[in-house]
A and B are shown apart, each in its own frame.
Chain A
Amino acid sequence: MIKLSMFQWVGLAIFFLGVFVIVPMMIVSTGRTDLFFTLTSVGLLAIASAGVWLTFYIGRINIGQGAFALLGAYVSAILVTKAGMSFWLSLPLAGLFAAFVAVLIGLPILRLRGVYFAMITLVLTQVFTLTALALPITNGAKGITSIPLPGAVSIFGLTLIPDFATLENPRQAFYFTTAILMVLTYAALYRIVNSRLGHLCRSMQQNEELASSIGVNISYIRILIFAISSFFGGIGGAMFGSIAQSVYPSSFQVADSVNFMLNCFLGGLGYVFGPMLGTLVLYFGWDLLFELGKYQMLVYSSLLIILMLFLPNGLLSLRMRKSGGQK
Chain B
Amino acid sequence: MGEAIVITSGKGGVGKTTSTANLGTALALQGKKVCLIDTDIGLRNLDVILGLENRIIYDLIDVLEGRCKIHQALVKDKRFEDRLFLLPAAQTADKNDVNPEQMKELVDSMKEDYDFILIDCPAGIEQGYKNAVAGADRAIVVTTPEISAVRDADRIIGLLELEENLDAPKLIINRIRPHLMEAGDALDVNEITTHLSIDLLGIVPDDERVISSSNRGEPVVMDPSNPAALGYRNIARRLLGESVPLMTMDKPKAGMFGKLKSIFTSK
Same complex: no
